[in-house]
């Protein structure tokens, strides 16, 4: 019996042209269909140590993100992390992590279909995001590696700062809010064209 993999699609496919028309200091592109796994494990426990050994990275503490190869580990809560990797890695990562955890208490769940990711870059990133986000993106407050769950224009997002100037940011947004957030970003950039 052959099991068919469900077709995956970009929740922002119809927005690609409009997002590409952003002003010179604000580039936005969707990174659709990334592998996303939710990890629930007791910090410092045997299962957490097994996961860290498997990934080659220490699970980050509050409001932080760590990168291990092509896997980004985002802190989501006291005992919860989101593992983000390129498309198609979910089966391999699930198998490796479950094998490493063994009989220890932890859960790893594929949540890849829940969210899409927007990669923002350019000198205007902080300025544009400040129009709808209460988080201070000054590099002294939110340096590279910061991972914050917040609201952007009333849409829940996970905001990850990728460089010290806060000009490289990724937004992870639930698919159901993606079109709304894309429309807001396009509108927020209008005055900079």
Phi-psi region of 56 (alpha: psi -120 to 50; beta: other; left: phi over 0): left
Beta bridge partners of 7: none
142 domain residue, yes or no: yes
Phi-psi region of 17 (alpha: psi -120 to 50; beta: other; left: phi over 0): alpha
Give tens-digit pLDDT for 156-170. 999 999 876 556 899
Of 76, 110, 144, which closes a domain?
Answer: 110
Domain with 121, as residue range(s), is 13-32+114-192
Q: What is the pLDDT of residue 8?
A: 73
Give tens-digit pLDDT for 51-104. 999 999 999 999 999 988 899 999 999 999 999 999 999 999 999 999 999 999
pTM exceeds 0.85 for this model: yes
Q: What is the pLDDT of residue 143?
A: 92
Q: Which two tokens stand for residue 101?
A: 């955890």
At 153, is the pLDDT very low, low, confident or very high (cuts 50, 70, 90)? very high
Domains contained in the chain, number: 2
Q: Tell me, yes or no, whether 88 and 149 share the same domain.
A: no
Q: What is the pLDDT of residue 163?
A: 77
136 domain residue, yes or no: yes
Whole-angstrom distance, CA of residue 6 vs CA of residue 150: 31
- What CATH code is carried by the domain that includes residue 61? 3.30.70.1520
Among residues of the chain, what percentage have pLDDT more than 90? 84
Give tens-digit pLDDT for 98-128. 999 999 999 999 999 999 999 999 999 999 9
CA torsion 10→13→17→20, rounded to 10°? -10
Please report, for residues 9, 69, 117, 147, 182, the alpha-carbon distance to residue 130 in angstroms, rounded to integers and kept in the order given: 30, 31, 19, 16, 16
Look over the chain and give the mean of its residue pLDDT values, rounded to a whole number: 93
Q: What is the pLDDT of residue 160?
A: 96
């Amino acid at each position: 019996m052959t099991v068919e993999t469900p077709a995956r699609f970009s929740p922002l496919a119809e927005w690609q042209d409009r997002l590409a028309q952003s002003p010179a200091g604000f580039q936005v592109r969707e990174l659709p269909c990334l592998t996303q796994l939710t990890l629930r494990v007791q910090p410092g426990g045997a299962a957490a140590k097994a996961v860290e050994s498997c990934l080659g990275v220490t699970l980050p503490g509050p409001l932080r993100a760590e990168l291990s190869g092509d896997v980004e580990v985002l802190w989501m809560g006291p005992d919860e992390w989101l593992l983000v990797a390129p498309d198609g890695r979910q089966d391999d990562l699930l198998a490796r992590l479950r094998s490493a955890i063994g009989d220890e208490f932890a859960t790893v769940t594929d949540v890849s279909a829940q969210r899409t990711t927007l990669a923002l870059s350019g000198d205007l990133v902080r300025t544009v995001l400040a129009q709808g986000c209460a988080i201070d993106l000054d590099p002294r407050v939110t340096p590279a590696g910061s991972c914050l769950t917040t609201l952007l224009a009333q849409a829940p997002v996970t905001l990850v700062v990728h460089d010290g100037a806060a000009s490289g940011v990724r937004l992870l947004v639930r698919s159901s809010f993606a079109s709304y957030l894309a429309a807001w970003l396009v509108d927020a950039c209008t005055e900079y064209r």
